[in-house]
Structures are given as structure tokens and as C-alpha cells.
Amino acid sequence: MSRLEGRPVVRSPKQLRPHPVLEEIGFTGAIDEFNDAAKLANSPVLEPILITTNGTILAGFGCWRSAVFDGRLEIPCIEYPLSEEEALQFIIRHYRPQRGWNAFIRIRLALRLRSNFQQRAFDNMSAGGKYKGSTNLPEADRIDVRQEIANLAGTGTSNVSKVEAILERAHPNILIALQNGQLSIHRAWQWCKQSKMQQKEEFARYEEERARRKILRELSIGQPKVLLDPAWVIEVLRDEEARQPGSVMIRASRGRRTVVIVRQDLLPLVGEYKESN
């Protein structure tokens, strides 16, 4: 759409709303867009928000949230006569390159338009006289519908099939993690072959491992590597545990190496033990 096709209007932020599907899944755009809008809040010329005639926001979620937060009474908008289905297609295409709108979110939104794509497939068949009067969509055309969904979401058909399975069988924690970009579609799809309780346990272990790796990265940034003999370290930790039971903690890891994180104040003890031996 070009802005020449839209109608400039002025609306109250309270008259606008996200698309119903976005509200249903609890997603109204990435935080980065809100931050960018906040930086431009003092600009004399505000970027207009794209909306439909019924007030559905097409683009400019950050500006809208910023206006609500600042208590603005009016904001400039450009209004387009689009249906809810057309608006959803525009939102997906418009935000497809944006970082916060990951593949899972885009596919989940695009799947809500499946009935539209199916109807189009039926209409195409009827127009060509093929399968006239049939109520079942043949397998080939179901594949075409999946391809249409994938094209709209900017991803592959295999991901569309995986997201369909995920939405049907995944634990709620998995869905939230996918929406937040904390989990890949493929990993979540593999977990969905298990029970929801097992999925929850797998995700908990995965999160613990991610947290452990993050801690190790933070500890290693800007810190010189300390090369110590593992045997000496074990002896010092054994003595420390004997003096203060519970001061040494052990956690299981799926990594191929065993990593020991030693408190800074224990390093001199390791050196003393090395000298005494």
C-alpha cells in the first residue's frame, strides 16, 4: 500500500487497538520498537500510525504505546479500508524483517488465515471445473495451502508443519519461550513428541544449561585464564567442604567437559597447596 491510498486522520490513542489475533496470543510488537518511539517522542513531526477504518493498528505499535504512556490526546494516523484478514496479512508482511517478530510468531499468525487460503484453493478448483461439488481439499492442494502460509510468514513449509504440531501438543511454557525467541522451532517440535510433563522437565533442564553457559561467559569476559592442576583444586575443595559443610555445590551438566568455578578467595589456597607439595 502507498500512503496515497490511505486517508490522513487524527485519532485518540484510546480509539486504537492491536489486531484481535495479536491480543489473543499476547503479542503486540517487540520492545525495540517502543524504545525507538520513545527516542522520537520529542520530535516536532510525529510518524503517523497506519490503521484500518475500525482502529486496528497496522504499523506503529511502538508509537501507539508511547502515546498511551505519555497520555497524548491525539496522534496522526493514515487510515486504510482493510478487513481483519487483510490487516493481518499486511501486519505479517510489514513486520517480517523485524527482529522481534520471529518465525514462530509469524507462522502462528499466518496459520489463522488458513481458511482464507483454503477457500481460495476451492475457488480455483471450482473455476477450473476440477473437483466441482467436492467438500474435501485434495492432498496436493493442502500442500499448496501450507506453501501459501509459509510464503506469507517468510519461512519453509517444514516449519509450518512443526508449528502446527507444537500448537496442538506443546506445554504452555514452550509456547511462551518460542514467542520470546528463547527456543528454536525444531527443538520444541522434538520435545512435543513427549508428554507435557516431560516437555516441562526438558525445558527446565534446557533453561538451567543456558543459565550456566551465560554465567561462564560472563565470568570469562575480561578475566585472565587461571591454569590450575585439577588434582590440587579437588584437594582444596575437599578441605573447604570439611571445614564448611555445604560450601561446595555440584550441578550436573550434559557438556563433554567438567568445568569447576572456584571462588576468588580460594585461589591463594590452591597456590599454597601446590607449594606444600
Comparing 250 with 18, which gets the higher pLDDT?
18
CA angle (43, 30, 44) in 5-degree steps: 5
Comparing 108 with 37, which gets the higher pLDDT?
108
- C-alpha 72, offset from chain centre: 30
In the chain, % of residues over pLDDT 70: 74
Domains in the chain with CATH codes: 1-98 (3.90.1530.10), 102-223 (no CATH), 230-276 (no CATH)
Which pLDDT belongs to residue 175? Answer: 93
Element (H, E) at 103: helix 103-111
| 196-249: pLDDT as tens digits | 999 999 999 998 888 877 777 766 655 555 567 778 788 888 888 888 888 887
Residue 24 clears pLDDT 80, i.e. is over it: yes
Nearest to 207 by CA among 193, 186, 187: 187
Which pLDDT belongs to residue 76? Answer: 93
Comparing 265 with 74, which gets the higher pLDDT?
74
**With b meaning 16 or more CB within 10 Å and e meaning fewer, what string describes 73-104?**
eebebbbbebeeebbbbbbbeebeeeebbbbb
Lowest mean pLDDT among 24-33, 93-102, 165-174, 226-235: 24-33
Cα 94 from Cα 90, distance rounded (Å) = 6
Residue 82 clears pLDDT 80, i.e. is over it: yes
Which pLDDT belongs to residue 87? Answer: 94
Cα 36 from Cα 47, distance rounded (Å) = 12
Residue 172 clears pLDDT 60, i.e. is over it: yes
Comparing 272 with 171, which gets the higher pLDDT?
171
CA distances from 79 to 2, 5, 16 (A): 11, 9, 11
| 30-52: pLDDT as tens digits | 555 555 555 555 555 567 899 99
Which pLDDT belongs to residue 203? Answer: 92
pLDDT band at 141 (very low <50, low <70, confident <90, very high): low
Asked if 111 and 163 touch (Cβ cutoff 8 Å), the reply is: yes
Residue 9, SS3 per DSSP: strand
CA angle (206, 212, 218) in 5-degree steps: 135
